[in-house]
């Protein structure tokens, strides 16, 4: 008997859980590379090698120019932008698993270039750019692979593990940095950077033992492979694959979808066609990823150690670990929140919550000099932690889940890449220009992020459709239904079902091989694709 368990009465294979956890190492690599630079730029040996020192050999006199620090931090983001755009064609050509392995190799090359840097900061920056190519491609490929492979009933939770591992990577980077910061010589920072190769090795090799995306296999005419892939994630024994009701139903849905898409195969230009709300969804995905960056979270992750040193803390490294721990622990809550309450409500409430605490942070830092008033400094730290709490439970995992489930299969990879690229464009802009902006307006920078969080809540309310508990095919039907509006989408269900809850109950009954009938329509219609010609 294949290893499985039942979730809300539905059979789920343990392979689906292992797949999500292993693939999410791509998020861990992303987070680790993001988190390490905040502490590394403050290490004595790193300053002596790459900064400008007024007294040679004295780290206390070494500082980075605004441009140099901005480039060292932000060139990773330029690499990730390019990598995100390349992620789709590579994943479509090589397959999701092999693409992930190749991208891990690219990241490893970038790490090697960095740790071989001696005194030339440009070499270090180029290494971060190369590493960024791998990270960016992984950020496009991994959520897509998880969404296409995970059972629909737990797709949101499993896809959210990508964000969970991002936060875990950030926390681990902080912990390793605080452990090596007093190590003599270049080992203080080279160890932190070099350990990144271990995470790439785990993902690059381990992913080859996981099943390939059944939708990618079907799109390449390998239906038998798609059946076996579905069976492994469902925990169905191999000898039962060809006659098993669940597998046959899912394969039929995927097959009909693939056949339609082959008749109208999507290229890059198709991502911008208004037909079937494709352009709408492309712009929505790009907007959500941009707004995730504009929440201001990376302001703390990239420059947090510098920010908290500026408010008078003696050991800003410890504060970074506290922020990283809050981010990591609260993401577990986010996985529950997004599965229990859907996508729209958490993002709307999260945007308002985050905005409120950023207003507190900015107001406190602007009204009183935190370096001369310990109470204000503590209030700013608490505000930052409360902001991260809301971000980790809503916008951080929520946007990555939506990127995996919002787009139609025929253009999903390309739309996912465009959306992820938008994330990295803003990641670069914020990473590079934050030193300039902070030096000009100080903590009033927080007001800018607060306004962006409110804007994010408005965008979600007016434009995002509720996609929880729907198959990817049903999500596509919902977006193309002219009678469905974003603010009423939580009640939408395919024709023949009275409500979203009715659809969920019918799906559970079908998975348990106890088909029910709702208004004379068999459960099999859940996966039946209706291709309309509306524009």
User: Could you report the per-residue pLDDT of 246-255, keeping only the tens digit for each?
Assistant: 777 777 777 7
pLDDT, position 29: 92
pLDDT of residue 311: 61
Q: Which residues have a Cβ under 8 Å from the Cβ of 161 and sit 6 or more positions away?
A: 20, 21, 24, 27, 146, 335
Phi and psi based region of residue 471 (left: phi greater than 0; alpha: psi -120 to 50; beta: remaining): beta
Q: Return the percentage of the chain with pLDDT > 70, whole number.
A: 85
Mean pLDDT of the residues in the chain: 83
Lowest-confidence pick of 29-38, 57-66, 231-240, 294-303: 231-240
> Per-residue pLDDT tens for 442-487?
889 999 999 999 999 999 999 999 988 887 778 888 999 888 999 9
* Residue from 534, 450, 436, 440 nearest 484 by CA: 534
Give 353-404 pLDDT, tens digit per residue.
999 999 999 998 888 877 777 788 788 888 988 999 999 999 988 998 898 8
Beta bridge partners of 11: 6
H runs (alpha helix) in 181-239? 187-194, 196-206, 214-219, 223-234
What is the three-class DSSP state of 372? coil
Spatial distance between the Cα atoms of 24 and 400, rounded to a whole number of angstroms:
12
Kindly report the number of other CB atoms within 10 A of residue 416's CB atom. Answer: 27
Q: How confident is the model at residue 439 (pLDDT cuts 50, 70, 90)?
A: confident
For 391, left (φ over 0), alpha (ψ -120 to 50), or beta? alpha
Rounded mean pLDDT of 179-195? 91
Average pLDDT over residues 261-285: 86
Q: Interior CA angle at 10 toward 9 and 14, to 5°?
A: 120
For residue 191, pLDDT beyond 90: yes
Condensed to tens digits (0 to 9), the pLDDT of residues 120-145 reads: 999 999 999 999 999 989 987 887 88
Q: Where are the alpha helices (H) located in 465-524, listed in sequence order?
A: 472-479, 500-511
Render pLDDT for 482-527 as a digit per residue (tens, 0 to 9).
Answer: 889 999 998 888 777 777 777 777 766 665 544 333 333 333 333 3
CA-wise closest residue to 481 among 467, 460, 469, 468 = 467
- 527 vs 323, which has greater pLDDT? 323
For residue range 84-110, what is the model confidence (pLDDT) as tens digits? Answer: 888 878 888 888 899 999 999 999 999
How many whole angstroms from its chain centre is CA 338? Answer: 14
Better-scored residue on pLDDT, 287 or 417: 287
Q: 346: which 2 tokens?
A: 């958490």
What confidence score (pLDDT) does residue 38 get?
Answer: 79
Please report which helix (H) or strand (E) contains residue 521, including its range.
strand 521-522
- pLDDT > 50? residue 265: yes
The whole-number pLDDT of residue 131 equals 94
pLDDT attached to residue 100: 93
Cα 227 → chain centroid: 28
- What does the angle CA 213 – CA 216 – CA 219 come to, to the nearest 5 degrees? 150
Residue 167 CA, chain-centre distance (Å), reads 10
Residue 150: which pLDDT band, with cuts at 50, 70 and 90? confident
Rounded average pLDDT over 289-304? 85
Per the structure block, which two tokens stand in for 440? 């000009």
Residue 58, C-beta contacts closer than 8 angstroms, at least 6 positions apart: none
Tokens standing for residue 198: 């271990």
> Residue 165 in 3-state DSSP?
helix
- The whole-model pTM stands at 0.74
Evaluate if residue 312 carries a pLDDT over 90.
no
pLDDT at 233: 76
| SS3 of residue 218 by DSSP | helix
Chain segment 210-230, per-residue pLDDT in tens: 888 888 888 888 888 888 887
At 1, the pLDDT band (50, 70, 90 cuts) reads very low
CA atoms of 325 and 175, how far apart (whole Å): 10
Across the range 293-317, mean pLDDT stands at 73
More reliable by pLDDT, 38 or 429:
429
Q: Residue 271 — very low, low, confident or very high, per pLDDT cuts 50/70/90?
A: very high
Contact indicator for 21, 123 with CB cutoff of 8 Å? no
């Amino acid at each position: 008997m294949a290893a499985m368990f039942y979730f809300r009465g539905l059979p789920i294979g343990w392979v689906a859980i292992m797949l999500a956890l292993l693939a999410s190492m791509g998020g861990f690599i992303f987070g680790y590379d993001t988190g390490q630079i905040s502490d590394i730029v403050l290490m004595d040996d790193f300053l002596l090698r790459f900064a400008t020192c007024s007294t040679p050999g004295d780290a206390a006199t070494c500082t980075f120019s605004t441009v140099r620090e901005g480039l060292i931090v932000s060139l990773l983001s330029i690499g990730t932008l390019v990598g995100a755009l390349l992620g789709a064609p590579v994943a479509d050509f090589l397959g999701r698993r092999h693409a992930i392995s190749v991208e891990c190799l690219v990241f490893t090359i970038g790490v090697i270039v960095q740790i071989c840097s001696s005194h030339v900061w440009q070499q270090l920056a180029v290494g971060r750019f190369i590493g960024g190519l791998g990270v960016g491609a992984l950020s496009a490929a991994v959520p897509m692979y998880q969404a296409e492979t995970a059972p629909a009933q737990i797709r949101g939770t499993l896809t959210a593990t990508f964000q969970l591992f991002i936060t875990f990577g950030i926390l681990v980077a902080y912990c390793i940095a605080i452990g090596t910061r007093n190590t003599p010589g270049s080992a203080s920072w080279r160890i932190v950077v070099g350990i990144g190769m271990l995470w790439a090795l785990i993902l690059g090799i381990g992913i080859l033992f996981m099943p390939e995306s059944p939708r990618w296999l079907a799109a390449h005419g390998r239906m038998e492979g798609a059946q076996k892939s579905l069976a492994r994630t469902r925990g169905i024994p191999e000898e039962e694959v060809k006659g098993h009701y669940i597998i046959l139903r899912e394969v039929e849905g995927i097959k009909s979808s693939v056949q339609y898409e082959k008749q109208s195969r999507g290229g890059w230009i198709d991502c911008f066609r208004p037909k079937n709300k494709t352009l709408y969804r492309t712009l929505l995905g790009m907007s959500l990823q941009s707004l995730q960056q504009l929440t201001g979270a990376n302001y703390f992750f990239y420059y947090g150690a510098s920010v908290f040193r500026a408010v008078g803390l003696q050991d800003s490294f410890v504060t970074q670990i506290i922020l990283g721990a809050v981010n990591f622990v609260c993401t577990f809550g986010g996985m529950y929140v997004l599965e229990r309450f859907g996508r729209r409500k958490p993002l709307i409430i999260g945007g308002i919550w985050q905005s409120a605490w950023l207003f507190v942070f900015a107001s406190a830092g602007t009204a009183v000099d935190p370096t001369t008033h310990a109470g204000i400094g503590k209030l700013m730290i608490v505000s930052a932690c409360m902001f991260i709490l809301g971000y980790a439970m809503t916008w951080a995992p929520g946007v990555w889940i939506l990127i995996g489930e919002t787009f139609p299969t025929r253009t999903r990879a390309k739309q996912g890449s465009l959306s992820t690229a938008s994330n990295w464009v803003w990641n670069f802009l914020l990473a590079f220009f934050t030193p300039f902006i902070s030096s000009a307006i100080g903590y009033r920078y927080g007001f800018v992020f607060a306004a962006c969080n409110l804007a994010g809540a408005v965008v979600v309310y007016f434009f995002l459709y509720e996609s929880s508990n729907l198959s990817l095919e049903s999500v596509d039907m919902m977006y193309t239904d002219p009678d469905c509006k974003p603010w009423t989408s939580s009640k939408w269900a395919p024709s023949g079902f009275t409500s979203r809850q009715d659809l969920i109950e019918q799906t559970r009954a079908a998975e348990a091989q106890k088909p029910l009938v709702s208004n004379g329509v068999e459960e099999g219609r859940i996966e039946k694709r209706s291709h309309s010609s509306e524009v």
